[in-house]
Chains A and B, each alone.
Chain A
Amino acid sequence: MRTFIVLLQKEFLQIRRNAFLPRLIIVFPILVMLLMPLIMTMDVRNVNVAVVDLDRSTTSRRIASHIEASEYLTLAQTNAEYPLALEALEEGAVDVIVQIPDHFERDMTIATPQRISITANAVNATKGGLGMQYIVQTIARTLAEMRGEKSPTNLSELVTIENRYNPTLNYRHYMIPALMIILFILICGFLPALSIVGEKESGSIEQINVTPISRLTFTLSKLVPYWIIGLFVVTIAMLVAWLVYGLVPVGSVGAIYLGALLFILTISGFSLTIANFSDTMQQTMFVMFFFIMIFMLMSGLLTPIDSMPEWAQKFTAILPPRYYVEILRSVYLKGTSIVELRTNFVVLSIFALFFNILAALTYKKQA
C-alpha cells in the first residue's frame, strides 16, 4: 500500500510537471462543452426557397408570404417560370423550389386541384429533407387557415403535438450527453495509454520492471489518476451544461457519477490494454483512433442506433459507450432511476472488470 501511494504521487507529480496536460484536463472539457453544442446542431435554418407562382392568386400569394415569415425558410426569389428556378437550384442559390400550378385556387373550390410540386436539392440530405418537411407544414398550415376562415371550426387546432422529455426538441439536449462521453474517451482513453507507452519510450519502465512491484500495483497506479481526472471532467461538463445551457439532470446526479465511474474504468482499462501491445506512442495513437472512430460513430452518440442496419445494431451490444450514453440521456432528460437502468449499469461493470483484468494480465514484466 505504501509503494502504491508512492507510485500515485509520482504519477500526479509527472502530470503536474507536464507543461501541457494540466491545461488540457481543465481547458479542453470547458471548450468542448461551450463550443460544440453551438456548432453541432441538426436544426436546419436558412433554407432558401424559390416560389414559381403560376397561379397568381390570393392563395398562392398567401403561401409565399407564409414561407417568407417562417423562422426556418427564406424566400429567396419568386419566378414566373420553372426553368429559371431550376437554374437557381443548380447554382445553389436556392435549396427548394415550390411550384404552384395555374388555376390552383379556382380548382381547389371545385374539385381536386393540380398538385403543388416541391423540388429540393438533396445533396445535403438533412437540409433537403427537413426543408421539404418545413415547406409541407407551412403550406398545409396556410391551406388549413384559409379553410378555417370559410368554415366555423378551426381545423388546424384539431391536432396537438407534444415532444415528451425534450419539449422544445432541442438538439443540444440530445448532444450534450454525447459530448460528455467523447470527453471521457479522449481524456481517460488516450492519456493513460500515452503515459504508459511514454515510459516504454523513455526506458523508465525497465527500471520499474526490475523492482519487486507487482504488475497489478503498477497498472493501478497508471489508472487511478485518470479515474480521478475523469470524475473531475464530468463535474466540469455538468457545470457547463447547467450554467450555459440550463440543462440539469431530471434524475439523480449520483446515477450519472456512478455511470461515469464505470465508463471511465472501462475506457481506461481498454486503453491500457492497447498500450501493453504497442511499443511507440504512434502505434498507440493509431490503434486508439481506430477504436474511437467506431465508438463515436456506432454507439448511438451522434446518430440513433435504431436507424442502423440490423447487423450493426447487434454489433453495438459490444460497444461500452452505447450503455453509458443511454444512461446519461435517460437520467438527464427522463429522470430514469438506477434501478430502471440496472441492465446498463451491470453491463458497464462487466466491461470495466473485463478490460482492467485484461490490462493487468497483458502487462508484461518479462518478455
Chain B
Amino acid sequence: MGAIEIHNLSKSYGKVQALDNVSFSVERGELFGLIGPDGAGKTTLFRLLTTLLNPDAGSAKVDGYDIKKDYLAIRSRVGYMPGRFSLYPDLSVEENLQFFAALFGVSIDESYELIAPIYKQIEPFSTRRAGKLSGGMKQKLALSCALIHRPGVLFLDEPTTGVDAVSRSEFWDMLSGLKERGITILVSTPYMDEASRCDRIALCNEGKILSIDTPKGIVRRFDKRLYGISAKNMFALLGKARMVRGVEDCYPCGEKHHLVAGHEFDIEYFKSQMKDTEGLEIVNTEPTIEDMFIKLMKR
C-alpha cells in the first residue's frame, strides 16, 4: 500500500475545474514531484490531501487514512508547508517552533535530531521575529515547523518559489536527507530544473496529470530529434524557423531556441532555407523535462 493513493479525484470552484479526475499513488519513502505551471491544480491537490478541502468526487488515502472519513487522523500524521509563508510573523523563530510543537503535544527535544540539520542553520536567529527573516530562512523555519511532530508524509507546496538559487539547491539537499529518514514527500514546483531531484514526477496542467514517470523515464519518452538553434536576431529566427517544412515546433528555451524535428525534417534543407540568417548555429540537443512538458501540453 502506498503512502498516498489517489483515485479519480475531482474538485471544481464554480465553473473552474481545478482538478479533473486525477489518480496516482506515491510509495512510502518516495520523493514525488508535481511539476506544472500556475493554475495546474497543484495547490488544490495539496489542500485536498491535507483535508483542508473536500473533494467533489473520487477518494484518496494518506498514510492509509481516508481524507474524508479520517481527516483528524491525517492531520496529526502529515506535515504541510503551504506555498505562502504562513507562520506567525510577530512571533520569534523559537516561539513559532515551540507553538507548533505544543499544538501537536510534543516537545522540541523529542524531534530535535530530525529537524536539527535544518533548524541548526536558523538557530542563531532564534530570537528574531519570523516576519523579519530572509526568504530562505523562512522556508527553513516553515519546514522545521512542518516536521516538528515527526509526520509520516510531508506536503510541500512550491517550497522554493521566491527563494534564491543557492538556497533552492540547499533546500533540495535537505529534502533528500529527509527522504533517507523514511519520510514520504510530495513536493510541487513550477521549476522544471528541480524535477530531476525527485524519484518520480507527475507533469500536470489545467487540473489533469499529463504523465507520470521517473525524471529520466519522462525524458526518454521524448521520441523526436531535438536541435538547439541560435542566431544574431533570435526573435526573427523563431518566426522563420517555424515556417520551414519538417519543423514541428520551435520555442525559446534558455539562451537557445529548441527545435523539434518532424519526420520530414532535413537538416541540410533547413540550413539552405535559413542561409541568409546571420550567425546561424544548429546543434543536436538532449531533451529535458521542459521539452517533454511543452510537447505534452500541445497535444
* Partner-B contacts on A (CB < 8 A): 2-3, 6-7, 10, 13-14, 17-18, 202-213, 365-367
A17/B75 in contact, CB under 8 A: no
A212/B104 in contact, CB under 8 A: yes
- Chain A residue at smallest Cβ distance from B149: A211
A-B contact pairs, 13 of them (CB 8 A): A10-B91, A13-B91, A13-B95, A203-B85, A204-B87, A207-B82, A207-B100, A207-B145, A211-B76, A212-B75, A366-B51, A366-B53, A367-B53
Given contacts A14-B90, A203-B85, contact A210 B50 (CB under 8 A): yes
Is the CB of B52 closer than 8 A to any CB of chain A? yes
Majority secondary structure, A binding face: helix
Residues in A whose Cβ lies below 8 Å from that of B52: 206, 209-210, 365-367
B90/A207 in contact, CB under 8 A: no
Residues in A whose Cβ lies below 8 Å from that of B80: 206-207, 210
- Chain A residue at smallest Cβ distance from B99: A10
Cβ distance A215 to chain B, nearest Cβ, rounded Å: 12
Q: Which of A2, A14, A207, A210 contacts B87 (CB 8 A)?
A: A207
B100/A204 in contact, CB under 8 A: no
Within 8 A of A (CB), among B66-86: 71-72, 75-76, 78, 80, 82, 84-86
- Chain B residue at smallest Cβ distance from A10: B99
B86/A207 in contact, CB under 8 A: yes
Please give me the 7 A-B residue pairs with the lowest Cβ-Cβ distance, nearest first: A203-B86, A6-B102, A212-B76, A210-B80, A203-B84, A212-B75, A17-B90
The CA-CA distance from A207 to B146 in the complex, in Å, is 9
Residues in B whose Cβ lies below 8 Å from that of A10: 88, 91, 95, 99
Q: Which among B78, B80, B86, B99 has the greatest number of chain A C-beta atoms within 10 A?
A: B86
B100/A211 in contact, CB under 8 A: yes
* Interface footprint category on B: 20 to 34
The CA-CA distance from A121 to B76 in the complex, in Å, is 73
B82/A14 in contact, CB under 8 A: no
Cβ distance A349 to chain B, nearest Cβ, rounded Å: 32
Q: How many A-B residue pairs have CB under 8 A?
A: 71
A2/B104 in contact, CB under 8 A: no
Is the CB of B54 closer than 8 A to any CB of chain A? yes
Given A3-B105, A367-B47, 16 more A-B residue pairs with CB atoms under 8 Å apart are A13-B95, A17-B90, A202-B86, A203-B85, A206-B82, A206-B86, A207-B80, A207-B82, A208-B103, A210-B50, A211-B75, A212-B75, A366-B52, A366-B54, A366-B71, A367-B53
Residues in A whose Cβ lies below 8 Å from that of B103: 3, 6-7, 208, 211, 213
* Partner-A contacts on B (CB < 8 A): 47, 50-54, 71-72, 75-76, 78, 80, 82, 84-91, 95, 99-100, 102-105, 145
A210/B99 in contact, CB under 8 A: no
The CA-CA distance from A250 to B78 in the complex, in Å, is 59
Residues in A whose Cβ lies below 8 Å from that of B76: 211-212
Cβ distance A87 to chain B, nearest Cβ, rounded Å: 64
Residues in A whose Cβ lies below 8 Å from that of B51: 210, 366
Residues in B whose Cβ lies below 8 Å from that of A14: 88, 90-91
Cβ distance A195 to chain B, nearest Cβ, rounded Å: 11
Cβ distance B201 to chain A, nearest Cβ, rounded Å: 24
Given contacts A206-B52, A212-B75, A366-B54, contact A3 B102 (CB under 8 A): yes
Q: Which of A2, A205, A209, A210 contacts B102 (CB 8 A)?
A: A2
The CA-CA distance from A367 to B54 in the complex, in Å, is 7
Given contacts A207-B100, A209-B52, A210-B75, contact A2 B105 (CB under 8 A): yes
Residues in A whose Cβ lies below 8 Å from that of B53: 366-367
B88/A204 in contact, CB under 8 A: yes
Residues in B whose Cβ lies below 8 Å from that of A7: 103
The CA-CA distance from A366 to B47 in the complex, in Å, is 9
- Chain B residue at smallest Cβ distance from A207: B86
Residues in B whose Cβ lies below 8 Å from that of A207: 80, 82, 86-87, 100, 145
The CA-CA distance from A202 to B131 in the complex, in Å, is 10
- Chain A residue at smallest Cβ distance from B68: A366
